[in-house]
């Protein structure tokens, strides 16, 4: 299952005293794909990323890249954006980026060239000689992304890269991530902005209580989610579908009803019942959005 | 290793560019230079100039001699006549003018006679009276004088004590102050640097590329180099000013020796304390909390320094200080003071250095472990015991 350059998170466990932070967390991010990592606060996303970067050590399990355990040398090829943004507040943007690039093993000349390139591409070139603390939060975020990219990483691990960004910056960030994935890098990021995840991720992993509970493409996840029907039958009385076989839940608006069906339900039974009440103007299957899936999984404890 | 050098380099660049560093270096160097110049102005040289007329000229030599016997330097100048001498006294170019026929001591001063000069004149008056009496009794005043001058007390010490020179004592105190200040400044810089990285969270980014010990070592090394340069510049400026103005008469080689010992002991003390500072600072995440955790460590520096400057001036051979100066955590402040004073047996010096060389590697291991475990935990203060255990 491991493609040549995929990042594999294999069976990680981590406890803090009595608190279980991670329990058998496993997933892999293939080369060239963007993996969205979603879950409630405290579900274990940040802990997983910090372990991947070697900032924390796991109690059990392993992180591998291209089939080999990730060590300090491989970590130098990871572009990392920590959840808690971190840069030296009193250091100039350009010096900071050159320094970080050099720590990742670049020569001075290469570090300077990469700094020029990324400050330009991320739109902070005009602020390169300013101290980081003098920048707006949005610009600090751009510099933070530049810090993750400046050493030409082979893997990207970004913890909440979109939080606090304006729509323009979100577009810049998305473009950069897509570009890196297209260049063959495994890209993983966590986010609470599920519409964004749905839009730009190739695959999504949903974590709950330290474990991966759903993992696949958005289509796959939706296919495994609950079946929904939208029925518009203007003459139907309120509650007409409540007693129908296979209907788990029904919500009614003016002339429409939204029904959640159990996996083995027969939608034709529902259609006949609707026609019995009068004309049917709309009858459609609707796939759950990622937000609904997420809520469903996290609140019901279901697995997809 | 490359990581350590890059980190040290960043520390050096950052500090050298900081205003606080430049200003403190210049101000401290200026204070020492000013001290040397002031010492010269107040101390050495001529204390008083006394005028003599033609008739009182024979008193010039005895006055200079009697003044010297009580530690006062008096220069004499022959004036053309009494009126001219009185004018010089009025203008202040003479402190006093000896008038009369020379058989008694009679001075003209502007307002009053300075205590020291007064003492010298009293001694002179006594000698003049004595010489006159000896002559009257038929004796030879000059023979009596030389006999008195030749009379000495012979002292046989069973264990010859080291004689402490005032100048070296002052120098020793200055060395103590300098090393104390340097350890405080450098130690605080290390502690604040560690916490700055935690507060700004940049430590997480750094630890993804370098090991914790590399980060700690690079920081300690960088700040250490910058601080050593600062101390040598300050101490060197002070010594150069002292030698240049003549306020110091210990000789160039002794001065260089003092500076070298100062540098050696600064480095030994710095590494020991900087590691301790780095470890305890890693326990907290906010600058406000730094003082709380570094104070216990700082106390060792302060205790050594305070005991040294309060006991050594009165009792340079203090047994307490002698023993404490060989105990690793007190040695960095006390040993350089004693070495500057002189008279430290080689074996004691070796014991003190050896103690540091044993303690420093132990601290590297200890501090490295605490730092590694604590530095990734941001938020509440990490308990020392937890930092020690967790891994």
Token representation of residue A21: 């932070």
What pLDDT, on the 0 to 100 scale, is given for residue B223? 94
What pLDDT, on the 0 to 100 scale, is given for residue A104? 93
What pLDDT, on the 0 to 100 scale, is given for residue A3? 45
pLDDT band per the 50, 70, 90 thresholds, residue B169: confident
Higher pLDDT, A300 or B283: B283
The residue behind tokens 């303690």 is: B359
The verdict on a CB contact (< 8 Å) between B205 and A88 is no
Residue A33 gets the label, from left (phi > 0), alpha (psi -120 to 50) or beta, of beta
Higher pLDDT, B245 or B339: B339
What pLDDT, on the 0 to 100 scale, is given for residue B267? 92
The verdict on a CB contact (< 8 Å) between A86 and B204 is yes
Containing H/E element for A60? Answer: strand A60-65
Sign of the alpha-carbon torsion through A153, A157, A162, A164: negative
- Residue B204 with chain A: CB contacts under 8 Å: 50, 53, 55, 82, 84, 86
Predicted confidence (pLDDT) at residue A4 exceeds the cutoff of 70: no
CB atoms within 10 A of CB B246: 13
Distances in whole angstroms, Cα of residue B72 to Cα of each of A210, A293, B117, B170: 87, 99, 7, 21
The verdict on a CB contact (< 8 Å) between A76 and B209 is yes
d(CA A49, CA A44) in angstroms, rounded, equals 9
Nearest Cβ partner for B200 among A50, A88, A100: A88
pLDDT band per the 50, 70, 90 thresholds, residue B195: very high
**Which of A219, A222, A237 is closest to A274 using CA atoms?**
A237
Interface test with A, best of B205, B373, B374 (most A CBs within 10 A): B205
The verdict on a CB contact (< 8 Å) between A87 and B376 is no
- Under DSSP, the state recorded for A126 is G
What pLDDT, on the 0 to 100 scale, is given for residue B118? 85
B203 touches A at CB < 8 Å: yes
Each residue of B213-271: pLDDT tens digit? 899 999 999 999 999 999 889 988 888 888 887 777 777 788 888 888 888 999 999 99
Nearest Cβ partner for B204 among A55, A78, A104: A55
3-state SS, residue B108? strand
The verdict on a CB contact (< 8 Å) between A50 and B204 is yes
- The mean per-residue pLDDT over the stretch B362-383 comes to 85
Each residue of B38-85: pLDDT tens digit? 877 765 556 788 888 888 888 888 888 878 777 778 888 888 888 888
3-state SS, residue A227? strand
3-state SS, residue B51? strand
Distances in whole angstroms, Cα of residue A108 to Cα of each of A115, A269, B184, B327, B340: 11, 71, 34, 45, 45
Distance from CA of B363 to the nearest CA of A (A): 23
- The mean per-residue pLDDT over the stretch A117-128 comes to 92
Interface test with A, best of B6, B11, B204 (most A CBs within 10 A): B204
- Residue A149 with chain B: CB contacts under 8 Å: none
Each residue of A147-201: pLDDT tens digit? 999 999 999 999 999 988 888 889 988 999 999 999 999 999 999 888 899 899 9
Interface test with B, best of A50, A73, A84, A89 (most B CBs within 10 A): A84
- Residue B209 with chain A: CB contacts under 8 Å: 72, 75-76, 100, 103-104
The verdict on a CB contact (< 8 Å) between B207 and A55 is yes
d(CA B312, CA B162) in angstroms, rounded, equals 14
Residue A155 gets the label, from left (phi > 0), alpha (psi -120 to 50) or beta, of beta
3-state SS, residue A124? coil
Token representation of residue B124: 């002179």
Query: Helices B115-136 and B60-69 meet at what angle, rounded to 10?
Result: 120
* DSSP structure string for A6-44: -EEEEEEEEEETTEEEEEEEEEEE-TT-EEEEEE-TTSS
* DSSP structure string for B176-237: HHHHHHHHHHHHHHHHHHHHHHHHTSHHHHHHTTS-HHHHHHHHHHHHHHHHHHHHHHHHHH
Predicted confidence (pLDDT) at residue B124 exceeds the cutoff of 70: yes
- The mean per-residue pLDDT over the stretch B4-31 comes to 91
- 8 Å CB contact between A114 and A150: yes
Predicted confidence (pLDDT) at residue A114 exceeds the cutoff of 80: yes
What pLDDT, on the 0 to 100 scale, is given for residue B390? 66
Mean pLDDT over all residues of chain B? 86
- 8 Å CB contact between B15 and B21: yes
Interface test with A, best of B18, B206, B208, B285 (most A CBs within 10 A): B208
Containing H/E element for B98? Answer: strand B96-99
d(CA A221, CA A288) in angstroms, rounded, equals 9
What pLDDT, on the 0 to 100 scale, is given for residue A143? 93
**Which of B282, B229, B209, B179 is closest to B12 using CA atoms?**
B229
**Which of B91, B95, B86 is closest to B53 using CA atoms?**
B86
Each residue of B85-98: pLDDT tens digit? 899 888 888 888 98
Who contacts A114 (Cβ-Cβ below 8 Å, separation ≥6)?
A97, A101, A106, A150, A151, A152
Task: Tell me the HSE value of B127 on the side-chain side, using a 13 A CA sphere.
Answer: 25
Sign of the alpha-carbon torsion through B361, B365, B370, B371: positive
Distance from CA of A197 to the nearest CA of B (A): 24
**Which of B335, B330, B354 is closest to B345 using CA atoms?**
B335
- Residue A89 with chain B: CB contacts under 8 Å: 200
| Cα angle value A240/A300/A269 (rounded, 5°) | 30
What pLDDT, on the 0 to 100 scale, is given for residue B144? 81
Nearest Cβ partner for B208 among A53, A57, A87: A53
* DSSP structure string for A158-202: EESTTTT--HHHHHHHHHHHHHHHHTT--EEEE-S-HHHHHHH-S
Nearest Cβ partner for A103 among B209, B376, B391: B209
What pLDDT, on the 0 to 100 scale, is given for residue B175? 85
Nearest Cβ partner for A103 among B6, B14, B376: B6
What pLDDT, on the 0 to 100 scale, is given for residue A2? 39
Nearest Cβ partner for B204 among A75, A82, A103: A82
The verdict on a CB contact (< 8 Å) between A72 and B211 is yes
B206 touches A at CB < 8 Å: yes
CB atoms within 10 A of CB B166: 8
What residues of chain A, 50 to 89, have a C-beta less than 8 Å from chain B? 50, 53-57, 72, 75-76, 78, 80, 82, 84-89
d(CA B55, CA B81) in angstroms, rounded, equals 10
Distances in whole angstroms, Cα of residue B56 to Cα of each of A189, B53, B61: 102, 5, 10
What pLDDT, on the 0 to 100 scale, is given for residue A249? 83
d(CA B239, CA B226) in angstroms, rounded, equals 20
CB atoms within 10 A of CB B167: 15
Predicted confidence (pLDDT) at residue B21 exceeds the cutoff of 50: yes
């Amino acid at each position: 299952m491991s493609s040549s350059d995929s990042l594999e998170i294999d069976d990680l466990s981590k406890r803090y005293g009595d608190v279980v932070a991670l329990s058998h967390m496993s997933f892999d991010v293939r080369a060239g794909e963007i993996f969205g990592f979603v879950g409630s606060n405290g579900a274990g996303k940040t802990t997983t990323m910090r372990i991947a970067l070697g900032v924390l050590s796991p109690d059990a399990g392993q992180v591998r890249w291209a089939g080999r355990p990730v060590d300090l040398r491989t970590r130098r090829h990871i572009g990392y954006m920590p959840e808690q943004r971190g840069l030296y507040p009193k250091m100039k943007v350009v010096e900071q980026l050159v320094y970080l690039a050099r720590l990742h093993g670049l020569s001075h000349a290469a570090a300077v060239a990469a700094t020029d390139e990324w400050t330009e591409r991320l739109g902070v070139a005009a602020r390169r000689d300013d101290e980081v603390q003098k920048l707006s939060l949005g610009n600090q975020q751009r510099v933070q992304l530049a810090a993750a990219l400046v050493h030409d990483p082979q893997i990207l691990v970004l913890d909440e890269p979109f939080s606090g960004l304006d729509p323009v910056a979100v577009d810049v960030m998305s473009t950069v991530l897509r570009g890196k994935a297209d260049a063959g890098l495994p890209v993983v990021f966590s986010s609470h902005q599920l519409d964004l995840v749905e839009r730009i991720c190739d695959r999504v992993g949903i974590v709950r209580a330290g474990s991966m509970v759903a993992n696949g493409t958005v289509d796959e996840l939706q296919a495994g989610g609950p079946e929904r029907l939208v029925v518009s039958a203007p003459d139907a009385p309120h509650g007409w579908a409540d007693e129908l076989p296979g209907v788990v839940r029904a919500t009614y608006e003016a002339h429409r009803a939204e029904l959640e069906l159990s996996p083995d339900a027969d939608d034709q039974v529902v259609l006949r019942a609707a026609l019995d009440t009068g004309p049917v103007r709309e009858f459609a299957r609707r796939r759950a959005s990622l937000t609904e899936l997420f809520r469903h999984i996290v609140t019901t404890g279901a697995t997809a | 290793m490359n990581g350590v050098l890059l980190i040290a380099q960043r520390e050096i660049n950052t500090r050298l560019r900081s205003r606080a560093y430049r200003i403190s270096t210049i101000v401290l160097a200026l204070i020492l230079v000013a001290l040397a110049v002031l010492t010269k102005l107040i101390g050495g040289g001529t204390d008083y100039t006394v005028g003599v007329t033609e008739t009182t000229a024979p008193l010039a030599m005895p006055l200079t001699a009697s003044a010297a016997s009580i530690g006062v330097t008096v220069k004499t100048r022959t004036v053309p006549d009494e009126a001219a001498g009185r004018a010089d006294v009025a203008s202040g170019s003479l402190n006093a003018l000896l008038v009369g026929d020379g058989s008694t001591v009679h001075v003209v001063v502007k307002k009053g006679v300075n205590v020291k000069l007064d003492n010298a004149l009293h001694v002179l008056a006594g000698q003049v009276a004595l010489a006159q009496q000896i002559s009257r009794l038929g004796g030879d005043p000059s023979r009596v004088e030389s006999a008195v001058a030749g009379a000495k007390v012979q002292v046989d010490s069973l264990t010859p004590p080291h004689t402490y020179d005032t100048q070296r004592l002052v120098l020793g105190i200055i060395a103590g102050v300098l090393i104390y200040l340097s350890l405080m400044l450098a130690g605080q810089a290390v502690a604040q640097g560690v916490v700055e990285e935690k507060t700004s969270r940049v430590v997480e980014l750094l630890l993804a590329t370098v090991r914790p010990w590399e980060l700690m070592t690079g920081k300690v090394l960088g700040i250490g180099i910058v601080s050593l340069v600062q101390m040598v510049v300050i101490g060197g400026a002070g010594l150069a000013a002292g030698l240049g103005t003549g306020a110091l008469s210990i000789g160039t080689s002794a001065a260089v020796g003092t500076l070298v010992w100062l540098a050696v002991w600064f480095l030994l003390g710095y590494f020991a304390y900087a590691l301790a500072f780095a470890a305890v600072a890693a326990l907290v995440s906010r600058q406000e909390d730094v003082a709380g955790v570094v104070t216990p460590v700082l106390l060792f520096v302060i205790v050594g320094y305070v005991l040294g400057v309060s006991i050594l001036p009165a009792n340079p051979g203090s047994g307490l200080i002698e023993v404490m100066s060989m105990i690793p955590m007190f040695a960095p402040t006390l040993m350089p003071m004693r070495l500057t004073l002189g008279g430290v047996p080689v074996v004691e010096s070796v014991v003190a250095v050896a103690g540091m060389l044993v303690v420093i590697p132990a601290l590297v291991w200890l501090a490295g472990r605490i730092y590694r475990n604590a530095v990734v935990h941001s938020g509440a203060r990490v308990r020392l015991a937890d930092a020690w255990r967790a891994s």
